[in-house]
Structure 1
Amino acid sequence: MTAPPEAPIATVTETGIPPLQFVLPEGFHELPVSASPDQRDSAVDGFVRELFPQGDAALREAAAPYYTRVTETMAGVGLAYAGLGIFGTDGPGVAHCSLTVTAFGSDHTDPETAARGTLAALRRDPLDDVRWLDLPCGPSVTCVTLREHTIAAEGTTPVEEQPKLLTGQIQVHIPFPRAPHIAVLTLNTASLEYWTEFCNMITAVLRTVTFPAEGDA
């Protein structure tokens, strides 16, 4: 997977929650989850034009309804950021992933207490690889999950013969240092042949996370 240069800092805000900033590599395209319903169609049109810069009008018109539904779904579950990462490879095709960010309220009094509570809760699932991670912005907890999904085929194909899709997820819980909230960054990919590169990428992104004071973002 080709290593792209860094992009400008992305700022994530959600109503009632302080801002969060991080740096993403080039290759991520931000879905307009924060756009108001009356602005969403035009915002999605801009997203599709960015995603398919060489595409013609027919391609953009076909893609726009799909990405409108995706954006509406992600906005409906409270995501503060959602991006698609598309990266060139050494051969034909591309490697791809999604990155989402959300945040929720917590009753913790300090970040370490929140991180330790999260660690204990996530370790209840033996199928997940849950670890403590010290970041420049403070303590955090990572949860890595690999899942196999059965793709339902039309007709009467036996379940054991239906195609399988293996996906990987890296989820990181980061308590805010000065506020009773926890940020959750989630990277998902089905391009597992580039799993190591995606692990390195999200590690680099996490080391850029900051929680600016209100008004400094």
Structure 2
Amino acid sequence: MGSTDLLQNLSVQGTHLPPMAFRLPTGMHAIEVSLDSGERAEAAQRLVRDIYPQGEESLWNAMGSLYSAMADEMLAGGVGFFGIGLYDIEDGGGVAHCSLTIAVYESGETDQDVVAHGIQTLLLGDPLHEVTWLDLPCGPAVCGVTFRKLLVDGAYTQSGKDEELVMGQIQVHIPFSTGPYTAVVTLDSASVEQWDEFSHAVAGIVGSVEFPSPAFIDGRPD
């Protein structure tokens, strides 16, 4: 399993944040939505070529435009990063899909433990959450896992009948060690049969998170 090192310089409400570094596992294809619009469009085109290497130009253009538009919407909603995970299902069972987003919000508190304990208390108030405290190399974090049933209209199912769809979500809240901000890493998927693989992917991502000195962006001192 390979990985990719990414150094983020995200922004929230026009404020530049301290950098955040992490690794993505093989199978996760991503766009940094904090890029400018032209760079996002180029990143979307690269993404669809990675996901559909055997595709044609018409498919690449259509899907690239779709993902670029999604990135624009997510940026407006406060998301600083999003990706799509594609993992082969054993025994030729097809491909399992998941989505990954990273958002950052201002917490107003620089003590990582204080922020993490506050998040833990909040999540424990929701009985649908399975809450776990994490001691990551970058500091404390809190993980919440939920499963919800959605009713899918028969117009969108193969059977033509309304069907229940189980959606799983892993969400990890990671307070910055370098400022009063918290990163929220969220993975969503309806491929719950592959949940162990998705859980391992998220564990690898959040376990690799670092908050480098702001003097080092893109691996080089200012």
Scaled to the shorter chain, the TM-score interval is: 0.7 to 0.9
Residues 1:136 and 1:35: Cα distance change in structure 2 (over 3 Å)? closer
In the alignment, structure 1 residue 79 sits paired with structure 2 residue 75: no
2: CA distance between counterparts of 1:123 and 1:50?
39
Question: Tell me, what secondary structure is at the counterpart of 2:154?
Answer: coil
Q: What is the alpha-carbon root mean square deviation over aligned residues?
A: 1.9
One-letter identity of the residue aligned with 1:97 = C
2: CA distance between counterparts of 1:34 and 1:48?
18
What does residue 142 of structure 1 align with?
143
TM-score with structure 1 length normalisation? 0.88
What does residue 7 of structure 1 align with?
3
Task: After TM superposition, give the deviation of residue 38 of structure 1 in Å.
Answer: 4.3
TM-score with structure 2 length normalisation? 0.86
2: CA distance between counterparts of 1:41 and 1:111?
35
Task: Give the conservation status (yes or no) of the 8 Å contact 1:82–1:101.
Answer: yes
Task: Give the conservation status (yes or no) of the 8 Å contact 1:32–1:44.
Answer: no
Task: After TM superposition, give the deviation of residue 173 of structure 1 in Å.
Answer: 0.5
Question: Tell me, what secondary structure is at the counterpart of 1:91?
Answer: helix
Q: Which is worse superposed, 193-202 or 40-49?
A: 40-49
Question: Tell me, what secondary structure is at the counterpart of 1:80?
Answer: strand
Task: After TM superposition, give the deviation of residue 40 of structure 1 in Å.
Answer: 4.1
Task: Give the conservation status (yes or no) of the 8 Å contact 1:6–1:23.
Answer: no
What does residue 44 of structure 1 align with?
44
Residues 1:43 and 1:210: Cα distance change in structure 2 (over 3 Å)? closer
Task: Give the conservation status (yes or no) of the 8 Å contact 1:137–1:210.
Answer: yes
What does residue 121 of structure 1 align with?
122
Task: Give the conservation status (yes or no) of the 8 Å contact 1:32–1:47.
Answer: no
Task: After TM superposition, give the deviation of residue 10 of structure 1 in Å.
Answer: 1.5
Mark the runs of 5 or more structure 2 residues left unpaired by the alignment. Answer: 218-222
One-letter identity of the residue aligned with 2:100 = L
One-letter identity of the residue aligned with 1:201 = A
Task: Give the conservation status (yes or no) of the 8 Å contact 1:31–1:81.
Answer: yes
2: CA distance between counterparts of 1:175 and 1:145?
21
For each residue in 1:165-191, what CA deviation from the matched residue of structure 2 results, as whole angstroms up to 9, or x when unmatched?
A: 111111011111131111111111111
Question: Tell me, what secondary structure is at the counterpart of 2:200?
Answer: helix
Task: Give the conservation status (yes or no) of the 8 Å contact 1:7–1:23.
Answer: yes
Question: Tell me, what secondary structure is at the counterpart of 1:210?
Answer: coil
One-letter identity of the residue aligned with 1:167 = M
What does residue 103 of structure 1 align with?
104
Task: Give the conservation status (yes or no) of the 8 Å contact 2:40–2:68.
Answer: yes
Mark the runs of 5 or more structure 1 residues left unpaired by the alignment. Answer: 156-160
Task: After TM superposition, give the deviation of residue 6 of structure 1 in Å.
Answer: 2.4
Residues 1:178 and 1:41: Cα distance change in structure 2 (over 3 Å)? closer
